[in-house]
Structure 1
Amino acid sequence: MPGATYKLVDAVTNKTLKADMKTNTDGQLTFGAASSFDTSLKDGEYAIEGLKPDNSYRLVETQAPEHYEGDAADQANATSGVQKQRWEASLAAGSVDFTIKTDQTQLKLTATNQKKAGQIIVTKKADTTTDDRFPGKMTMIGAQFAMYRYREDGTVDHSHAWTTTITNQNGIVTFNDHDLYEGKYLLVETQAPRGYVIPDDLAKGIDVNVKGDQKVALDPIIEPEFRRAIQLQKTDGNFGNHLAGITFDLYGSNGNVLAKDLVTDEAGQINLPFNLPIGDYYFEESKTLPKYELNTDKIDFKVEQTDLTQTVSALASQNKQRPVTVQAANYQINSLVIKKVDAADSNQVLAGAIFRLTNDKGYSKELMTDANGLITFDNLKLGRYWLTEVKAPAGYTINPDYAKPVAVDIKSGDTIRMTITDQRHVLPSTEGGNNGNDVRHDQPSRRLLFGSFGDRDAITLVLLGIVILVIAGSTVILRRRKRS
């Protein structure tokens, strides 16, 4: 170690006998009486007179060689604190106490110095691949590294690690531990920042050589983004079979459109053609199949990162084998058509009948038969419903079979059609002195007499006929009286 500076001090009197002595290119320092040198003094040789046998001396290192703790730079820059204490301790370790014995003609001393620690500067940058859908980049804050020293036999010593974490926005971190001495090291990224994955080579480790106290600035490390593959699976909500041909749009959490007109394939799947970073998303169904109800709900899903130690290759394998799966179901719908007719004449359709259809999932709807005697309950999901006739047409009574709820199973396939009859009101009879307690089942005769009029219309005609007869009779009587 050339360039180390020493002074010789008498340990008894504390008097400096010689100062500013420097080791030569071989790291040696030789001193003694002038007569002890055969020739003129060479580099690293110093003549000191008056050295006494059996006297104690101290060879004090006042300045370490360059790149060693306690060198000129340390003494100029580290004038206080821990750093000064460190280089002062190093110089003290490089000093030697000795005693010259009476019979000694030559004394060899050995001193050591500690090299300064080197510095390794690591810079992380986000993958520069542009994506208009996701223009923003997350910071490198949170990336963690560990460094291990190689032994002389070429193996890595994992018993001690130098660790550090990126805490700044610019993605730069420095290993500047005081014991990071010259040598070969293995740099490993142990944790990626949120939103990124560890490059495969950094997960295994890259070699870094430190020479002296130099600053080793590594080439910027490009950090790939964490992005997950997305698969939407569309099935029939009743039967579980896959549904092809249903169209979706994809949105970000803020409602921005990321993709439109995505159509499920034969397996009922949409495999998104690009991967998604961390965030909240949703699908919206824009077109469904015939006989299926359009799902108007947002189909929400998240992309989350739970493992910050994941590597690029591990993520690629996960995306291939286990994409983020979004389940979505469509339900078949069908229609129930009810036709209301006269019980005695199925060709006579009845308007004004009211039916209620319900199920145990909250569905409830009332409809009235139109002029064609028809009601259509549309967009019914498959399952069991209950049908009740709540009001009969004028002149008719509620069909007793439907006065209470009747089970109706809505199944896939063609429209379900039902024909339900109602009986006309039955008029009480006053013939035969039965005080009106007998009942006449005379619908056919009334139909013959009144045609297709209803009961109320028939009564009106009867009353009108009576009035006409009374008027006609009164007229005849008046005429007879006049003649008389």
Structure 2
Amino acid sequence: TKIASGLTTDAAGQVKVAELKPGDYYFKETSAPAGYELNDAKLNFTVELQTTVKVATVSATNAEKTGSVVLTKTDSDTGKTLSGAVFDLYKKDGTKIASGLTTDAAGQVKVAELKPGDYYFKETSAPAGYELNDAKLNFTVELQTTVKVATVSATNAEKTGSVVLTKTDSDTGKTLSGAVFDLYKKDGTKVASGLTTDAAGQIKVAELKPGQYYFVETSAPTGYSFDIKKQYSFTIVLNQQHAVTVKATNTEKTGSVVLTKTDGDTGKALSGAVFDLYKKDGTKVASGLTTDVKGQVKYNNLKLGKYYFVEVKAPKGYDLNKDKQTFRITLRMTEKSIPANVQVTDKKTPVQPEKPENPTQSSSSKPRTGTSGSTINKQTGSSDKRTSKGNLPQTGEQYSGYLTVIGIVIILAVLGIILYRRRLNHKNSK
């Protein structure tokens, strides 16, 4: 039998009811305090016969409503949700409540039935390829006067990788120090600038997050050329175990040489001279280089160092110059540097005409030498031709008329001498 309804606990948590006749009674809770679970148990008590004043007492309890929490795990840079992160859950005082809580495909951990209070998560294992976040992830479950879900945000940074760039000479493979690079992400964001190769020809960059990158050379080592538009690309992968390697090469700057061939007496340019070109160590660089109508041989793309020309064929009518014509290709500070110059001269080959045989004999037995340079044997009347040492020059059609005139003059001179001597001998015999 309901005796009263709507009895509400006051500020002291009490309900007081008087004028109850002796007997057995019970309270029934119809509404719990905000944030508490309803206690639907019968709260029995007895009012005794009042031979003395007695007040019956009833104790009633309520449990606080429990709350829940949702932890969401994301990538610290991209915001992408991360599954596979593992957590333990603790009360603020360090009491462990749960362990092995793992983020699902949505990157979440959900825990219910938590009484109001302060808590924290502790990450025990990060997703593959990510750094462990060992911070305490604090949260509070509030008194559930209305339904409230606590939320926790947790992030992980991807594990970083590294790269090693090595700079070498494109021909020799020698490592090159002093090359300067800038480093960019694939989207063109500059990551670092002024990175310079060390004594081992290397640049090392660490703490690079997974992604695509590229180097751009901004300055080459002294004496080398480079392409400022070339990109040296590489990729840092998730959970990288070893440094990525990048190979970059430089080509030595080259120079040029101009050899000019002239007549040693007149300075006239001589075409048709043929040369071979050698390095200082004797390695042949080129052969069959022939002077043009200006008397020149031009040769480009010579690397720094010492070289020499050797003449292998002289122009017609000239002696071969067998001397090594040395020169040096030096560092070009600008693209318009003056080429090395080599001056070579040749001397004309002296003309040595052949002497004709004497047509008559001299009556004297003693050989005599005529003015022409031939030895005349008086007994035989013949002359022995004498020539200077060395080979006769190569002559062309331009000398044929000249030689004919000289030959006629020599023959007439010899005949005159012979006739004069015969007359002289004839007078002496009388």
| TM-score (norm: length of structure 1) | 0.42
How does the TM-score come out when normalised to structure 2? 0.45
The structure whose Rg is larger is: 2
